[in-house]
Amino acid sequence: MHRVTGLIRRSPWLVGLPRDVVVLAAIAFCVALGFGIVLPAIPIFASDFGVTTLAVGAVVSVFALMRFVASPVAGVLANKLGERLVLAAGLVIVAVSSLLAGLADSYSQLLVMRGFGGIGSSMFTVSAMALLLRTTDRNQRGRAASAFQAGFLFGGVAGPAVGGLVVAVSIRAPFFVYAATLGLAAVVALTMLHPRPRAELVEQADQVVDPDSEPPIRVGAALRMRSYQAALLANLNNGLITFGIRAALIPVFVVEVLRQGAVWAGFGFLVAAIAQAVVLIPAGRITDHRGRRPGILAGAAATMTGMLLLALSTNLIWYLLGMAVLGAGAAFLGSAPAAVVGDIMGRHRGGAVVAGFQMVSDLGAVVGPLAAGWVADRFGYSQAFSIGVVSAAFLLLVAFRMRETRVSGP
């Protein structure tokens, strides 16, 4: 196992980063792999109970809704019990809920188990990000966030491919495979993450302190910082556009507007994933060496440009170009804002601050499809994509006014 870990740490995403970052990236891969396997099966399995399309959609949205609701509690637990324990507990909760969802005999059982899984997912996400940021110094946080993002990205790409084979066995099988990947991730978390984060050097001092002895930073104090406000808006954009508008509209847009087969929707998401993977390393390095503000500005500009290209798209070339630019923007918005949160936390426990950061992304993922769908139905797809253009443009303005946290502090 240690030999495998050593090989992984020599990858361009992870070289020079603390071991806990490597472990968290591996956990992210396991989680995303299982999620990618089960996601296509969820609507099909739900529809087998003879419910309406709205009810099918509710099974998907209840997961994100419960993540949003549970995030504040997850932040408090991470502060009080420690990130490692809450992370592992969250993974176990999602694993058990997935196993029980696969055994569901009714629609109501499936709905409840998916909601229960959302609570565990929130616990994992908040504690994993808090631990990731607290165990790296300010010259590594951009790359660390990129590495964590890479784990999710590669797992998410591989998951649907494996899922097609698993669904062929049984429509319930993906739920059991998802439970297994989450169980593996929980074992990795408990056995390979350090029980307590390494002590960090206090800024501008020579003494070493135990980070667990420092009081948690309060959300109210963070909210008064322009840097944290910019990070929240950036993550809201990430959820609103990447996980909301793009995910909800692209498949239908390709078929109804571009008059192409549904396979081109898949190609578009693949192009976005490739662009994101290519830009991840440069995005992390720019964030660490040039600053968080340039990273957020680059992500906002790319996201605004990508959404504009989609709004103006009349053929496959412009569509694929827009998806590629959006993928590049997602790489920056996945690393720079997270690094800002890490700078604000410093050596303090920051579960509540990370929870707020995560909540705005989940809120965007819930609101984005609803708002974009309503606008598309009444005014058209170009106007729906314009929601993303306006949102990213506002982020651009806010990022211009934020203070740089890497050098000067929050």
Measured in whole angstroms, the distance separating CA 150 from the mean position of its chain's CA atoms is 10
Question: pLDDT of 22-54, one tens digit each?
Answer: 899 999 999 988 888 887 788 778 888 888 867
pTM: 0.80
Average pLDDT of the chain to the nearest whole number: 84
Ramachandran bin of 291, using left for φ above 0, alpha for ψ from -120 to 50, beta for the remaining angles: left
pLDDT class of 8 with cuts at 50, 70, 90: low
- pLDDT for 267: 85
Ramachandran bin of 170, using left for φ above 0, alpha for ψ from -120 to 50, beta for the remaining angles: beta
User: DSSP code of 211?
Assistant: G
Give the angle 214-220-224 at the CA atoms, nearest 5°.
110
- pLDDT for 194: 76
Rounded Cα–Cα distance for residues 347 and 330 (Å): 27
Average pLDDT over residues 221-231: 89
Longest dimension (CA), the chain: 66
The CA–CA distances, whole Å, from 395 to 289, 301, 366 equal 22, 9, 19
Residue-by-residue DSSP string for 117-157: HHHHHHHHHHHHHHHHHHTS-TTTHHHHHHHHHHHHHHHHH
Question: pLDDT of 296-327, one tens digit each?
Answer: 999 999 999 999 999 999 899 999 999 999 99
Measured in whole angstroms, the distance separating CA 38 from the mean position of its chain's CA atoms is 17
Closest CA to 338 of 165, 183, 126, 85: 126
Sign of CA dihedral 43, 123, 299, 288: negative
Closest CA to 33 of 125, 186, 156: 156
R_g over Cα of the chain: 20
Contact 393, 233 (CB under 8 A): no
Q: Is the pLDDT of residue 355 over 70?
A: yes
Question: pLDDT of 232-268, one tens digit each?
Answer: 999 999 889 987 788 778 888 888 889 888 788 878 8
Rounded Cα–Cα distance for residues 12 and 143 (Å): 10
- pLDDT for 228: 92
Give the angle 324-329-335 at the CA atoms, nearest 5°.
135
Domains defined along the chain, listed by start:
2-196 (1.20.1250.20), 219-408 (1.20.1250.20)
Contact 149, 337 (CB under 8 A): no
pLDDT class of 83 with cuts at 50, 70, 90: confident
- Residue 320 has, within 13 A of its CA and on its CB side, a CA count of 11
Rounded Cα–Cα distance for residues 81 and 75 (Å): 10
